[in-house]
A and B are shown apart, each in its own frame.
Chain A
Amino acid sequence: MKKLINDPANVVAETLSGFQAAHADLVTVHFDPDYVVRADAPVKGKVGLVSGGGSGHEPLHAGYVGKGMLDAAVPGAVFTSPTPDPIFEATKAVDGGAGVLHIVKNYTGDVLNFETAAEMADMEGITVKAIVVNDDVAVEDSTWTAGRRGVAGTVLVEKIAGAAAERGDDLDAVLAVAEKVNANVRSMGVALTACTVPHAGKPSFDLGEDEIEIGIGIHGEPGRHRIPMAPADSITDQLVDPILADLKPAAGTEVLLFVNGMGGTPEAELYIVYNHARARLEAAGLKVTRSLVGNYITSLEMQGCSVTVLALDAEMTALWDAPVLTPAFRRGV
């Protein structure tokens, strides 16, 4: 294992220290319990947005703390959900009196810990509602599993719901926007390599030199099936097709196309995937009116990518275009 770390036990703490030092103008990092809040938190009268989950997906979630997106992020150990108390402390720290929305990726540990934290907040008189993001079409039959996982669509939920909170929507309205994004977004990912969790020291699964895993999540867990390595266009088809089959957008629908890198993929390759994915969507009669390409929700150093399609309406488009100023995502400011 070759990694730029000092001690596997200190990875999260040292990451947060560096993050605080680099972005002190935008965020404040609290240690023990660990959470990150925007520098001007709590914003009086504004709905607070809190997300979190295992570390190892950077820039998600701490990179999206700031004006127009999240009020707080709660990082757990690498690929392990945070416990309820830091989530609860973060919730208290960003409650500006208008209630707090928890944005949770649908993984069992994340859901249980956020639910418990919400109960703790409720006992303190803070109103908490939650959106559980589940955009991953790789998980097919939700009655036989813990349900679709929350993956790259989470970034879009955080941006668009964050803009709704920033413009002054109340808690129910922000939740409604978040639910609308979640209902209209689908993702599918592929891994060319596994990744190595620092304290495990060995790759999370074995993948042959000429094999790729289709339908992976974001925690280095195996996916839907394994196929031989293939040209980018062919792999892209296998990501786009299940999305379109599930989302079934009407011809003429305006969409946001998001090609996300898993951490170890050159940006050039992401644009090769984007190029073909866009052509596929246009051939299906869709209008790609907004795009995002880059490493926004990663799986440590995994090579691979995910494709995400969000069927837009006027409100979601306007909120997507609204100004945002965070360490990892800034536009219109």
Chain B
Amino acid sequence: MTDNLSLAWALAWIRSAQATLEEHRMELIDLDRAIGDGDHGENMSRGFKAVVAKLDDSIPDVQGVLKVVASTLMSTVGGAAGPLYGTAFMRAAKAADGDLDSEKVVAMIAAALEGIVARGKATTGEKTMVDAWTPALEAATAAKDSGASPAAVLRAAADAAAAGAEATIPMQATKGRASYLGERSIGHKDPGSTSTAYLLDEAAKAAGA
């Protein structure tokens, strides 16, 4: 299959993700200031800048790109997002062996979600990035089962993640620093699920979807 996702896709994805996170830095800071400590936009911006600086010709494949993302985010982001995204990309890298067909795209998203849940111990409905990753995996699985291309699987995942992020607005946070606000966390969009939606949207765009 020629529409399998290769190294070129992974490089394009991560580079455009960095640009998008930079563009939305203040938005993420403001979302986090409302219900957290206001550092999410700054931390993600710092982390992805460091990632892009490490992307070079020596990286052989998709798995190699995801490993660089994982280790760099882990060592530069800090806060809660660093270990969560770092673990997500580390697990995704393990699942992304060779070029990716639709099956492997789903496996990659499933592995990322498993890593986040294992590290953060959150479930759906707690106003965290799990509320974006979970519907993304469900939509990706459904698309794969109906015979969609890898790009279409990513588009389905990205759209579901964006809807999942929107759906965190009426939720009361029960994990993370926002949970200390109790009912005062209701009415704000979760910053982590928002950055997840941006990342998956760029993954789909880089695949041409």
* Residues of A in contact with B (beta carbons under 8 Å apart): 76-77, 79-85, 107-109, 112-113, 115-116, 139, 143-146, 149, 197, 199-200, 204, 217, 219-222
What are the residues of chain B within 8 A of A219 when measuring CB–CB?
A: 37, 177
* Interface pair B78/A113, CB less than 8 Å apart: yes
Sampled A-B contacts (24; CB under 8 Å): A77-B78, A79-B37, A79-B39, A80-B78, A81-B80, A83-B77, A83-B78, A83-B82, A84-B74, A107-B177, A109-B79, A109-B80, A109-B83, A112-B83, A112-B84, A113-B78, A113-B83, A116-B74, A116-B86, A116-B87, A139-B180, A144-B172, A144-B174, A197-B38
What are the residues of chain B within 8 A of A83 when measuring CB–CB?
A: 74-78, 82
* Interface pair A112/B80, CB less than 8 Å apart: yes
* Interface pair A80/B79, CB less than 8 Å apart: yes
Q: How far is the CA of A85 from the CA of B77 in the complex (A)?
A: 11
What are the residues of chain B within 8 A of A144 when measuring CB–CB?
A: 172, 174, 179, 182
Question: Which size class do B's interface residues fall under?
Answer: 20 to 34
B176 at the interface (CB under 8 A from A): yes
Which residue from A79, A80, A146 sits with its C-beta under 8 Å from B175? A146
B195 at the interface (CB under 8 A from A): no
What are the residues of chain A within 8 A of B38 when measuring CB–CB?
A: 197, 200, 204
What are the residues of chain A within 8 A of B84 when measuring CB–CB?
A: 112
What are the residues of chain A within 8 A of B176 when measuring CB–CB?
A: 108, 146
Q: Which of B19-69 contact A (CB under 8 A)?
A: 37-39, 42-43
B181 at the interface (CB under 8 A from A): yes
Q: How far is the CA of A79 from the CA of B32 in the complex (A)?
A: 14
* Interface pair B77/A221, CB less than 8 Å apart: no
Q: How far is the CA of A112 from the CA of B172 in the complex (A)?
A: 22
B interface, over-half SS: helix
B120 at the interface (CB under 8 A from A): yes
* Interface pair B174/A109, CB less than 8 Å apart: no
**B99 to chain A: closest CB distance in Å?**
30
Q: How far is the CA of A115 from the CA of B119 in the complex (A)?
A: 8
What are the residues of chain A within 8 A of B43 when measuring CB–CB?
A: 80
What are the residues of chain A within 8 A of B74 when measuring CB–CB?
A: 83-85, 116
* Interface pair B80/A108, CB less than 8 Å apart: yes
Q: How far is the CA of A204 from the CA of B184 in the complex (A)?
A: 16
Q: With contacts A81-B78, A220-B37 known, what are 16 further pairs, Cβ within 8 A?
A: A79-B37, A84-B74, A84-B75, A84-B82, A107-B177, A108-B120, A108-B175, A113-B83, A115-B119, A116-B119, A139-B180, A144-B182, A146-B179, A146-B180, A204-B37, A219-B37
Q: How far is the CA of A30 from the CA of B184 in the complex (A)?
A: 41
Closest residue on chain A to residue B177 by CB atoms: A108
Q: Which of B169-196 contact A (CB under 8 A)?
A: 172, 174-177, 179-182, 184
What are the residues of chain A within 8 A of B180 when measuring CB–CB?
A: 139, 145-146, 149, 217, 221-222
Closest residue on chain A to residue B179 by CB atoms: A145
Closest residue on chain A to residue B46 by CB atoms: A77
**A242 to chain B: closest CB distance in Å?**
15
Closest residue on chain B to residue A120 by CB atoms: B74
Q: How far is the CA of A76 from the CA of B76 in the complex (A)?
A: 11
**B165 to chain A: closest CB distance in Å?**
19
Given A84-B75, A200-B38, A145–B182 Cβ distance below 8 Å? Answer: yes
Task: Give the 6 A-B CB pairs with smallest separation, nearest first.
Answer: A145-B179, A112-B83, A109-B79, A109-B80, A108-B80, A80-B78
